[in-house]
Amino acid sequence: MTNLIDLSGKNAIVTGGSRGVGRATSLLLAEAGANVGISYRNRADEAAATVADLKARGVSAWAEAGDLTDPAAAAALFERGVSEFGGVDIVVVNHGIWPVEDVAIADMDAERWKRTLDVNLNAAFYTCQQAARALRPDGRLIIVTSTAAQRGEAFHADYAASKGALVSLVKGFCVELAPRGITVNSVAPGWIDTEMAAPAMQGVERSTIEAKIPIGRVASPDDIAGPIVFLASGLARHITGEIVNVNGGAVLVG
């Protein structure tokens, strides 16, 4: 049977690729035949394990450490992609933080606000800027945002604002890159069963969260990776500037 998604010969970069959604996406890209380079900030053991799992799927793979809030780190990531792969076809901007503590806007200090926007927005901008320079014709850029980008999130205004800005970036950036055949899209997850979200889903909180999801469960990282890889494929060649919501219907019930 023919594999509908065949990324053989394509080269991908996934930020935050050592765990959670980034790891699941990297592995699925590799299963479709793509070579994958991942970025990570400080968990070298997890990054090495992910690279080993990628190579076990028969593709070329590597990991690059760096803090993408530094434009030089973003540049180094893509320089490696070009030097090791010879070119870049797929970029998945997945890194980010979600400060778990509930803080009202009136009480939020400047340090938290600046840190969240630096990691979620500024680092994404530096990454997208490098992607625009490195992506080959007919490339794919997928940015992971959030349902919070469209609905807002009380007591997490920093996170919602940072992700909302990424949605606007997708909408404008897709027009800029379209003449080269490059598509720019976003996948917007709801709750995901990851380390980042784990503190908010302790005990009864998880059942409360799941009760508000029509499908009845929190997404797994694989649930998010599938739509990302679809957008990276030729099947999605005429989709650009879109926000694909992957939340089990949660936005429909408030």
Those residues whose C-beta lies under 8 Å from the C-beta of residue 29, and which sit 6 or more positions away, are 7, 12, 14, 36, 90, 92, 229, 232
How do residues 34-49 score in pLDDT, each as one tens digit? 999 999 998 899 999 9
pTM of the model: 0.93
How do residues 130-162 score in pLDDT, each as one tens digit? 999 999 999 999 999 998 888 888 999 999 999
First CA to last CA across the chain, in angstroms?
42
- Work out the pLDDT band at 1, boundaries 50, 70, 90: very low
Measured CA to CA, the distance from residue 217 to residue 234 in angstroms comes to 30
How do residues 225-237 score in pLDDT, each as one tens digit? 999 999 999 999 9
How do residues 59-115 score in pLDDT, each as one tens digit? 999 999 999 999 999 999 999 999 999 999 999 999 998 888 999 999 999 999 999
User: 37: which strand partners?
Assistant: 13, 62
Active site amino acids: 146, 159, 163
Q: Supply 154's token pair.
A: 């009380």
* Strands across the sheet containing 135-144: 61-65, 35-40, 11-14, 88-93, 135-144, 183-189, 243-246
